[in-house]
Structure 1
């Protein structure tokens, strides 16, 4: 889904999750302080990227920035909160407000349903930035995504992009801010080979679709720019009116990967965005894990030398 440059209201405010910051005031260098002054509680993450035991997304807050989500769709269930980005026609001011209007076109409901299917116990929130014709404006997208990042959601599903380059720098800065704040943005690659954002940025997890029949399979892409492929071709998704449709697009591979992130985080809540990317890489179906040698080959002492020295 691409912006063309252009539920239910929450019963209580969004509660930011606890974070582990790398020390107050740490900016460009560490002077006058040592390792003990910047302690970080870390999580090694799951072996080979797969969490041990049940990992259902429990305790993980996922925000779907899209067209809204249909309230109480049987394949989505209740929403933890629903908001809409509103632009004043006279002043041009933009606000994010609670809403009960649901979904305008079905796209957000489809994404939320895939997330629910993948991580059934995660907490799903919705921010509506698209209108009835599957389109929106860049400034509305920016406002909705910025709000989601400021709320410190664990995962943000963004099955949209903008081709308007004037938003690229601001989107890049926002994506970097989310990355360092441990809010993982999972962004859909454009369905056609055109330049669009923010999926092109390294600080987000970018997703395209594959054509494999296995609905539980994701792949790592060794050839940039997109990083991962998920099931997004001819998939069954929830739609408006409590029904389902079959559809195709990178938009629908993206929430599958977002759901995987929620599952991993439910078992390993202190993982960073960097670690999550590595977990997705290690658990991808096409990544082979070479065995480690138990000892150096015969005659190999492990010494190294600088060949420039005579």
Structure 2
């Protein structure tokens, strides 16, 4: 059943919410669970999708991040929605690359395990793979699962998937110090932007790193979404996108990131 609320109610819920009861799957390079950012807290799941000959296999992630990227993403989500439940599904390797089949299996695992939000700071620009991505993004939409994706870091207008599907909350990096800001750019498939330029994040090895990229803006919106859903859990993906459009600050050239002309 749809739950209709006003933009003002959504903005108030964002301010109140802390993510309690919302489960977020981080499809990335893994999460370093020993990092002080996570305070030794357990993840919902800690999985890795690996190749075993000609088959894919789900194995334990063992609290490892093969690159540092997933730890950064999870750290931003924890900052924004401290009471949300986070699960790690490792689909990216040491070079932050993966075969489409591995990403698809990771997404399938997240949907089947009942996650409310899938954070995808990744993308595929291979045209022949569009329908493979569409299949799981459509399945998520039909089940009321929210997908948040980063766009291309070199050119935000370059088609990538899942970012270029209309049911996805797609996020670019913004040049701003406002951790809570969300910006809206109508007439683009990459509709939203959030802080993602020169951001200090947790990194593998127990340290921190200053980073720039849409990968670090998307989890900020994921955290906002978790806060909203913790207060109003019945919102579906279409409703949340419209509400974010209504409450966001209009995009301006002053906040554009390095991948926008």
Deviations 1:105-138 (A, max 9, x none): 1000000000000000000000001111221211
Report which of the two structures shows the higher radius of gyration computed on alpha carbons: 1
Q: Secondary structure at the match of 2:244?
A: helix
Aligned match of 2:50: 86
Query: CA offset at residue 148 of structure 1?
Result: 1.2
User: Does the 8 Å CA contact 2:173/2:193 hold for their aligned counterparts?
Assistant: yes
User: Does the 8 Å CA contact 1:76/1:109 hold for their aligned counterparts?
Assistant: no
Where does the alignment leave 5 or more consecutive residues of structure 1 unmatched?
1-39, 288-310
Q: Secondary structure at the match of 1:168?
A: helix
Aligned match of 1:7: none
Aligned match of 1:202: 166
Equivalent residues in 2 for 1:143-158, closer than 5 Å = 143-158=105-120
State the TM-score, normalizing by the size of structure 1: 0.75
User: Does the 8 Å CA contact 2:173/2:195 hold for their aligned counterparts?
Assistant: yes
Of residues 140, 147, 163 in structure 2, which corresponds to 1:178? Answer: 140
User: Does the 8 Å CA contact 1:51/1:267 hold for their aligned counterparts?
Assistant: no
Aligned match of 1:215: 179
Question: Which protein is richer in helix relative to its size?
Answer: 2
Of residues 233, 237, 246 in structure 2, which corresponds to 1:273? Answer: 237
Q: Secondary structure at the match of 1:112?
A: helix
- Separation in structure 1 between the aligned mates of residue 187 and residue 198 of structure 2, nearest angstrom: 24
Query: CA offset at residue 45 of structure 1?
Result: 3.5
- Separation in structure 2 between the aligned mates of residue 82 and residue 235 of structure 1, nearest angstrom: 25
Query: CA offset at residue 101 of structure 1?
Result: 4.3
Of residues 33, 53, 57 in structure 1, which corresponds to 2:19? Answer: 57
- Separation in structure 1 between the aligned mates of residue 12 and residue 69 of structure 2, nearest angstrom: 29
Report the number of matched residues.
245
State the TM-score, normalizing by the size of structure 2: 0.89
Q: Is residue 106 from structure 1 mapped to residue 68 from structure 2 by the alignment?
A: yes
C-alpha RMSD of matched pairs (Å): 1.5
Where does the alignment leave 5 or more consecutive residues of structure 2 unmatched?
252-261
Deviating 4+ runs (over 6 angstroms): none
